[in-house]
Amino acid sequence: MKIHTFSLKILCFLRFVMKLLHVLVGPSASPEKLQLLEKDVFNVNLQRCKLFAKIVILFEAIMICINLTTSFANYQRLIFSNTYLILYLLLLIMSVIMLGYMHWFERIKDYTERQYKWFRLGLLCFVCFFGVWGSVITLLDQKGYGHVMAFSVNIVCVSILFLASNCTIIKLYIPPIAVLFIGLPFFQSSMDTLIGHYINLSVFLFFCWLGSRMLYNSYAANFFNEMLLKESNHHLALKIEENMAINEELKKVNEKLQYLSFIDELTKIPNRRGFQHFIQEQLDNNQGKRNVSLMMLDIDAFKQFNDHYGHLEGDKVIQSAASTIQQLIAPRDGFLSRFGGEEFVMIVFDWNEDQVYHLADEIRKAVYSMGIVHEYSPVTNRVTVSIGIETGDVEHPLDIERLLKNADFALYQAKNNGRNRVEVFGTAERLLGR
């Protein structure tokens, strides 16, 4: 049992030592980050010292008033022989000078590194002066009160309010401690009180230093964590921008692929899939019925042309026909697509049958006028086309299928009736009275 208790005590002591070492070591970072921390700590200390100087000025003004009132009440003849009053005035004057110095420095927008170092040195001197001032007051108190309150309060203020690295805080401690510890034997006649002061002040200083380290290291850790968070957010923002750029590129690629999937490679006009996409868009964008005229075109005797002139020449015929038809259909807000092989489909909206027929016949004549030789055509010695037309109201995709079927039947009639002609679906049936 005793061994277990002893082990726990050793463990607790080791933990304390580790925490103390952590406090002594402080945060680790790159030289660039440590320099940024120093600048940030400087700005924080500047604001704290401004506020502290104002408080000191107010407090010292009150102490001077109390001291003057007491001096006059006791009929003290020489005010300047009052050491406390002189010290209060000295601290008041130094605080006013330092406050003006800090306001002057803040008005400098772009200060040099040399100006920064000199001002930082001035700030440290003011803090050090404040500590030494407390030591002097404490030495004077030994003759009357015997306490060390002034020194203790000043050291606590320096430790808590002023953020500083371990090296800097020790430098700030040395002057006031040296003044007090060296001067105590000359002002305190009681040996027991003197020894008590040394022991109590040593313990007190250690905990002040420890508190100072904990506050500084905590601030430094928060500063580095905030910096790390900003860096992470910056990297994340860059990554998001990169991903957005990639997504935008992918979107463009997908749009291009979609476009290519809708375009016939040979003629550069919409293919059958492009035709279906166009129809679906029209149905989605228009509510209710719409009058649609659909023309199905086929190049006459195209197999014979390929067999005798070759497929390359056949491709040229298809390209030329597509270009010629597109020149006629595009100005009329029509739509042309290659439906497959030598077949094309054309669409116009809100036209009457006569207008559609004249357009189809104009297309037929334009293809004939291209003058492409076709010696093996059963119609004539040129490349010709046959066209079937169907017009109707469209509201659903099934209506388009119906128009396609009827236009294809009209095209079949044009082929049977001698080719190189235009047929409208239902004409023959109407003539027969069906």
Alpha-carbon torsion, ordered 164, 167, 173, 174, to 10 deg: -160
Q: Is 203 found in the same domain as 101?
A: yes
Q: Are residues 387 and 277 in the same domain?
A: yes
For the segment 98-125, the average pLDDT, to the nearest whole number, is 88
342 catalytic? Reply is: yes
Q: How far apart are CA 183 and CA 52, in angstroms?
A: 27
Decide if 155 is inside a domain. yes
Nearest Cα residue to 390 out of 356, 366, 350:
356
Q: Is residue 185 one of the residues assigned to a domain?
A: yes
* Same domain assignment for residues 222 and 301: no
Same domain, yes or no: 132 and 207 = yes
Instruction: Judge if 160 and 296 occupy the same domain.
Output: no
Query: For residue 379, what are its two tokens?
Result: 């119609």
Within this chain, do residues 222 and 276 fall inside the same structural domain, yes or no? no
Over residues 156-200, the pLDDT tens digits come to: 999 998 999 888 999 999 999 999 999 999 998 889 899 999 999
Q: Highest mean pLDDT range out of 23-32, 192-201, 253-262?
A: 192-201
Same-domain pairing of 182 and 38: yes
Residues 334 and 411 in one domain: yes
Total structural domains within the chain = 2
In a shared domain, residues 322 and 187: no
Give the pLDDT score at 297: 96
Catalytic residue among 32, 241, 342, 343: 342
Per the confidence metrics, is the pTM higher than 0.75?
A: no
Mean pLDDT (the chain) is 87
Beta bridge partners of 391: 293
Which of 8-22, 94-108, 311-325 is predicted least confidently? 8-22
Q: What is the pLDDT of residue 434?
A: 30
**Is 402 a domain residue?**
yes
Q: For the domain that residue 320 is a member of, what is the CATH number?
A: 3.30.70.270
71/198 same-domain check: yes
| Last residue of one domain, picked from the residues 194, 226, 258 | 226
pLDDT tens digits for 62-85? 988 888 887 676 655 444 457 888
Kindly write down the DSSP assignment for every residue of 148-187, as one continuous string: -HHHHHHHHHHHHHS---HHHHHHHHHHHHHHHHHHHHHH
Strands (E), 283-384: 290-299, 335-340, 343-349
Q: What pLDDT is recorded for position 4?
A: 57
Phi, psi dihedral angles at 291 (to 5 degrees): -75, 125
Give dist(CA 367, CA 238) in Å, integer. Answer: 57
At 80 the pLDDT is: 46
Q: Tell me: do 138 and 280 sit in the same domain.
A: no
Residues 351 and 407 in one domain: yes
Residue 303 falls inside a structural domain: yes
- Domain span including residue 295: 272-431
